[in-house]
Amino acid sequence: MSIKSRLVFIILLVTIVAIPVTLSFATSGDATQALAETSKARKAKASRLFKQGINQYQTNQYQAAFRSWLQAIMIYQQTKKQEIQNSRLRIQN
């Protein structure tokens, strides 16, 4: 395992850990519940991709692991942005 591969792994891991994926705002209503379920499903998918990346990394499939981790990061970021937007809408109402 090269130093470059280790560095990529560490950077991705730190990025994923640094992304908060939950908010502690009170929610109500059917629409909010549907959004929460969608968010939960997306987080589960991101978690699966992250674990898949770990397995790929451990079997020396570095490029595949990198792609899996990037997909996971993108999902975490999209989910976080959507949660922030939903929270702002709830606060305004």
pLDDT digits (tens, 9 = 90+) for 59-81: 999 999 999 999 999 999 988 88
Q: Is residue 45 part of a domain?
A: yes
b/e map of 71-88 (b: 16 or more CB within 10 Å)?
A: bbbebbeebbeebeebee
Q: Which domain holds residue 43?
A: 33-93
Q: Is residue 13 part of a domain?
A: no
Q: Is residue 52 part of a domain?
A: yes
Q: How many domains does the chain have?
A: 1
Q: Is residue 2 part of a domain?
A: no
The whole-angstrom separation of Cα 73 and Cα 75 is: 5
* Whether this model's pTM surpasses 0.95: no
Q: Is residue 9 part of a domain?
A: no
Q: Is residue 69 part of a domain?
A: yes
Comparing CA positions, the residue from 75, 77, 20, 72 lying closest to residue 50 is: 72
Q: Is residue 15 part of a domain?
A: no
Q: Give Dmax (Cα) for the chain.
A: 53
- pLDDT less than 70: residues of the chain: 1, 13-37, 93
